[in-house]
Amino acid sequence: MEPKPVRESQVTVSQLMLPEDANASGNVHGGAVLSLIDSAAGVTAMRHCRRRVVTARLDEMSFLRPIYIGNLLTIRASVNDVGTTSMEVGVRAEAEDLATGETWHVASAYLIFVALGEDGTPLPVPRLIAETDAERRRMEAAKRRRELRHHHSEELARLGLKPG
Ligand SMILES: CC(C)(COP(=O)(O)OP(=O)(O)OC[C@H]1O[C@@H](n2cnc3c(N)ncnc32)[C@H](O)[C@@H]1OP(=O)(O)O)[C@@H](O)C(=O)NCCC(=O)NCCS
């Protein structure tokens, strides 16, 4: 498989937040944001490996500021690093007030996708080429997170704190 540059799979999607995206308080529901993040990140992962993928993990995610109905939500997603069959996709979500042009950072997240073959077993993905300094930094950070996830998971298991 030919290695692929980060830029070949990057995705930007924008969606107008409508009343159907609202929670009981009238602001945008967290689930609506999560759904768009998962979709954009999944498309990014599929573009990289050109296979079907499943979301294996969504790392800790905080909602930093509210989004209101009528705002434009924009998600930018790119592959940060790959393992053998898995890909870490980094996502940044921003909201825009279309009346004023003001934009604000809503959330950032890291998602892990796994490429699957026809029989549903994980299959290898192409290597990732980081071409810019920012991409190389993100790749290094993703490798570090992969190690930390592994340690964290082992530690939770050791302490009997893994969700079961
Ligand atoms: C994701 C899934 C295919 C992994 O299957 P598995 O038998 O655990 O596969 P493996 O142990 O061989 O792991 C495959 C890769 O995924 C990674 N992985 C699996 N689960 C992971 C997790 N929770 N977090 C991070 N990475 C994970 C492994 O590190 C491995 O990466 P690598 O090949 O790059 O080294 C399987 O757990 C699954 O089908 N989960 C359900 C996915 C789904 O339905 N998502 C939508 C939710 S509605």
CA of 25 to the centre of ligand 1 (A): 36
DSSP character at residue 64: -
89 and 44 in contact (C-beta within 8 Å)? yes
Quick: pLDDT tens for 3-21: 999 999 999 999 999 999 9
Outline where DSSP puts E strands in the chain: 4-5, 11-16, 52-58, 72-82, 86-96, 103-116, 128-129
Ligand 1 contact via 55 beta carbon (within 6 Å): yes
Ligand 1 contact via 112 beta carbon (within 6 Å): yes
Nearest protein Cα to ligand 1, atom 19: 56
In angstroms, the CA 37 to CA 48 distance is 17
Q: How high is the pLDDT of residue 164?
A: 72
Ligand 1 contact via 83 beta carbon (within 6 Å): yes
Q: What is the mean pLDDT of residues 86-97?
A: 98
Q: How high is the pLDDT of residue 69?
A: 97
Percent of the chain whose pLDDT exceeds 90: 95
Q: How far apart are the first and last CA of the chain?
A: 37
In angstroms, the CA 44 to CA 77 distance is 7
Nearest protein Cα to ligand 1, atom 27: 56
Ligand 1 contact via 153 beta carbon (within 6 Å): no
Nearest 5°: the CA angle 60, 66, 70 is 125
Q: How high is the pLDDT of residue 29?
A: 96
Nearest protein Cα to ligand 1, atom 5: 122
pTM listed for this prediction? 0.96
Quick: pLDDT tens for 71-84: 999 999 999 999 99
Quick: pLDDT tens for 106-155: 999 999 999 999 999 999 999 999 999 999 999 999 999 999 999 999 99
